[in-house]
Amino acid sequence: MAGQFLKVSKSRAVAVSPPASRVAAFERSHLEVRMFNVGDGEAVVVTFPGKRSWIIDAGSSKNARRNEKLGGGLASYFSDETLILQGVVPSHPHIDHAGAFATVLKSRPRFGSKLWYCRSEDATWHKKDGWIPALDRTLRGLSVPVEQVVLADARRDVPTGNEARARLFAGSGEAAYTSIFVLFEFRRARILFTG
């Protein structure tokens, strides 16, 4: 993954150009978190060594066209970076957090041996019309096995590969505000997504 390298001090950040050998070693050993500017919504891609990637939320406003555009953009990003989609986590059933997932999945990105689909248990996920049933149909139509993790008042650890794992937590509540939290652990690094 090509990127910009910065030397960060207490009061400033300066662009640097490390030697190619150091860049290559970094690319084999790091966890990358890419947050996309989507306006009203969320879209985050977490990438582990080997280009194994998870999407945490993928939605932009309540507008279907904006969500399709975001989904297409994420699909292009996965294609351009040759990423492997290993898991998706819609934090909660609001379209501005999950409305672009179906578009991403329909684009048929490269998948691992299976796709982890992790969400909270919430009555809103059982709607009979709109974008949620469309996402469910897309998941059922994938050519890769889908491992669903649906949690309420529970936690579960999901292996994500060498030296990495996802720890998922969900409480219980009313309506669409029962978020699933994801804590990624990679070596000594930890990053928490709270929806």
Domain spans, the chain: 31-193
**pTM score, whole prediction:** 0.85
CA distance 48 to 30: 7
For residues 74-95, give the mean pLDDT: 95
Please give the backbone phi and psi of residue 64, each rounded to the nearest 5 degrees, phi first.
-60, -40
Contact 124, 150 (CB under 8 A): no
Confidence of residue 1 (pLDDT cuts 50, 70, 90): very low
Contact 182, 156 (CB under 8 A): no
Residues 6+ positions from 149 with CB-CB distance below 8 Å: 116, 117, 118, 119, 156, 158, 168
Q: Which CATH number fits domain 31-193: 2.60.40.1180, 3.30.1330.50, 3.30.2180.10, 3.60.15.10?
A: 3.60.15.10
